[in-house]
Amino acid sequence: MSLPAAEFSATQAVAAGTDFAELKVGEHGVFWNEFRPADGACRIWHWRDHQARCLTPEGFSVRSRVYEYGGGSFCLSDEGLVFVNEQDQQVYLQALDGSLPHRLTHADDRRYGDVQWHAGLVLAVEEHHGEQVEHRLVGLTAEHRQILAEGADFYASPTLSHDGCRLAWIEWDRPAQPWTVTRLMCREREPSGAWGAVRCVAAQDESLQQPRFDEQGRLYCLSDRDGFWQPWGELDGHWQRLPAASADHAAAPWQLGASTWLALGPASYLASWFEDGFGELGLRRDSGEVERYASAYTRFRGLALDNERIYAVAASPISPAAVIAIDQRSHAVEVLAGGAEVLPVEHISRPQPIHYASGDGSAHGFFYPAMQGTAGLPPLVVFIHGGPTSACYPVLDSRIQYWTQRGFAVADLNYRGSSGYGRAYRQALYLRWGECDVEDACGAVRHLAELGLIDPAQAFIRGGSAGGYTTLCALAFQDVFRGGASLYGVSDPEALGRATHKFESDYLDWLIGDPQRDADRYRQRTPLLHAGRIKVPVIFFQGELDAVVVPGQTRLMLEALQANGIQAEGHFYAGERHGFRQAANLAHALDEEWKFYCRLLGR
C-alpha cells in the first residue's frame, strides 16, 4: 500500500527494504531467496502455477557466511533444495513435499557457500576454521566428502559441465582480491571416473568471475583483461573475447553465487551490463544481433531462463527489487514477487546521472532532487557506499526517498574505486583510499552547487563501514560539510587491519599501503589521530556485536570529539553486527540521523 509523501516514515522506509539475494529456475518452478527486514531472516520461496509459497520453516534462515559476506546459499536438487542454514552454516537437503530439512554436513568448524548440485553431488566452497582459516572446493554426499581443489587461498564458482565431465572454478591467492587478480581453473574426468590434473585456463593480470559451460561443454568466463568484465570463451581452439559492449557485465564479486550472464552458445549469451551506471539486459545471438529486454528496469541480478521466459531480480528508479519473468517473444514482464509501490510515482525523486571533474580524474554518481519545497536551495546529503570497491545503483532506495521527501537533495556517489565503470576506474583507488574518495565527495558538492541545484553551505555526508571512513576523512581533512554520520565506520584503519578476517586481510595494503613501511601514510589518513581537526557535529551508529569495526573504535572516536567540545552523539545497538538488520534499529538510526541534521539546520 502506498502512502502520501508526508507520511513516509522511517518505519515504512525500512519495511520497503525487502530484497532478493538469489534466483533459480528448474523443472519444479521458480525459486528465490527473500530477505525481509521485519525479522531479519532469509527464506526460500517457490513459485509455480501463478502461486508462491514459502519453503523455509521456522527456525531456519538461508544465508552463507563464507568470506563473511556469503552468497550462493542455495541451489536446486533433483528432488528439492540444497541450502546453507545461517545459524550453523551447515548444508541441508529439503524436499518440496513440506517435510523438514535434513542436515547433510556435521562439521561445526566449517562453513559452506556457493553450493551447486549435480547428479547427487553437492559442490561447495568450504571454509575451515581451525588454527588458521582454510578454503577448499569439496564435493559432498550423504556418505562422504571429496576434496576437489585445495592449495589456493580462496575459491569461488565451482561449475560442472552439463555432462559432468568438466569442472571449472575461480581461485586466487593473497594479497590479491577477487576484483584484482584471479585464475580460471579446470579439471576433466578420466575414463576411470577420477578427476584428472588441474589446468589453468586463464591467468593474466585480470579478474575473472562467473565461469559457465554451454550445452556442448565449451567453457566461458567474464574477464576484465580488456578493461571491462566481458564474456570470454573457448572458440575455435583459442581463449578469446566474445563480441560484447565495452562495459562491465558484472559488479565486484564481494559475494559468491552471482549470476549476471549466462552462456548459450559459441557467441550467444544472455547478460546484463552497465551503461553510464544504468543496467541493461539483452540477449546476444551468434549473428551479432542484440535483443534488449525490460528497458524500464535499471539493475538486473540472478539471471536465469527456461525455454520460454527470462527471469531476474530487477529494480527500477520507481520500483524496488522484484522477481520478474520476461516472455522471450513478446517481451511482456510479469512480477512474481516484490516491486510493491512504495510511494505514488509523482512523489518519487528519480536519479539523474552526474559525471564531474575531481582531483586528477573524474567521478560518477546519481543526483536525487528534493521533493519537498524549502526556502531557497535545498540542503544536500552525500551518500558514500561501503566496500569501498562496491557501487550504488539508480534504483528506488527507500532510504534515499526518506530524505528527498523531507526537503533534502541526495547525491549517491560512485567515487573512483567503485565498480561498474571498468577496471581502470576501479583500480584508481590503489593506495589512495581516504584521498580519491574524499576528493570525489567534496567535488560532488561543488559540482551540484555550480549547477545551482543545492546549497553548498548546507551539505552533509554519511556512510557505513568503508563509507564511514570516507565520511570521517572528509570531515577531518576538508572544510566542505556542515556535519556527518558514520554508521559502523572505520576511524582507525591500522586497527581494522589487525583484526579483520582472511578475505580482507590484505585489502588495506592495497588501499593504503603496508602498515609498517607506509606508517606515515596511515597516520596521515587515520581520522582518530586527527579528531582535533573535525570542527563540525558528527553522529555515530554502531552495533555492539560488530567484529569488523569493533565498538571500542567508534567509542574512542566519539569520546575524542566530545573531549574537543564538538557536538557528537552515538547510538549503540546491542544485537547488531557489521551492518544493521533489525527493522526497529534501522528505523531508529534513520530517524535520529534526520533529527540530528535538522537541529544543525535550526529546524
Q: Give me the phi and psi of 374, to 5 degrees please.
A: -130, 165
Same domain, 354 and 265: no
Q: Is residue 324 part of a domain?
A: no
- Letter for the amino acid at 582? Q
Tell me how far apart the alpha carbons of residues 360 and 213 are, in angstroms, rounded to a whole number.
42
Domain that holds residue 537: 345-600
Whether 307 maps to a domain, the answer reads no
Q: Is residue 480 part of a domain?
A: yes
Is 332 inside any structural domain? no
The kind and range of the H/E element at 498 are helix 493-499
- Consecutive H or E run containing 96: none
Q: Is residue 293 in some structural domain? A: no
Asked if 370 and 494 sit in the same domain, the reply is yes
Same domain? For 11 and 155 the reply is yes
pLDDT number for residue 39? 83
CA gyration radius for the chain?
A: 24
Query: For 152-175, how does the pLDDT look when each residue is reduced to its tens digit (9 = 90+)?
Result: 999 999 999 999 999 999 999 999
Give yes or no: residues 357 and 229 share one domain: no
Both 244 and 361 in a single domain? Answer: no
pLDDT at 2: 40
Number of domains in the chain: 2
User: What's the confidence (pLDDT) of residue 85?
Assistant: 98
pLDDT tens, 326-346?
Answer: 999 999 999 999 998 999 999
Confidence (pLDDT) at 60 = 97
One domain, residues 456 and 566 = yes
Looking at 239, 254, 270, which one is the last position of a domain? 270
**212, 240, 270 — which closes off a domain?**
270
What residue type is 437 in one-letter code? D
Cβ proximity of 354 and 365 under 8 Å:
yes
Is the residue at 585 inside a domain? yes
How far apart, in Å, are the Cα atoms of 100 and each of 55, 221, 346? 10, 37, 46
Low-confidence ranges of the chain (pLDDT < 70): 1-6, 374
Q: What is the pLDDT of residue 4?
A: 40
Q: What is the pLDDT of residues 484-497, one digit of tens each?
A: 999 999 999 998 88
In angstroms, the CA 514 to CA 54 distance is 48
* pLDDT at site 550: 87
Q: Which residue has the cell 534462515?
A: 61
408-426 core/surface letters (b: 16 or more CB in 10 A; e: else)? bbbbbbbbbbbbbbbbebb
Q: Which of 16, 33, 37, 13 is nearest to 24 (CA)?
A: 33
Same domain, 224 and 361: no
The residue out of 245, 270, 295 marking a domain boundary is: 270
134/173 Cα distance (integer angstroms)? 12
- Whether residue 422 contacts residue 251, with contact meaning beta carbons closer than 8 Å, is answered with no
Position 205 in a domain: yes
**What is the value of pTM for the model shown?**
0.94
Neighbours of 175 (CB within 10 A): 13
Establish if 282 belongs to a structural domain.
no
Q: What is the predicted pLDDT for the residue at 3?
A: 39
SS3 category, 561 = helix
Q: Are residues 365 and 235 in the same domain?
A: no
Query: For 14-72, what is each residue's pLDDT tens digit?
Result: 888 789 989 999 999 999 999 988 888 999 999 999 999 999 999 999 999 999 999 99
Scan for cell 539523474, then name that residue. 352
**CATH no. for residue 26?**
2.120.10.30
Give the integer Cα–Cα distance in Å for 15 and 10.
9
391: CATH: 3.40.50.1820
The Cβ of residue 502 has, within 10 Å, a number of other Cβ atoms equal to: 17
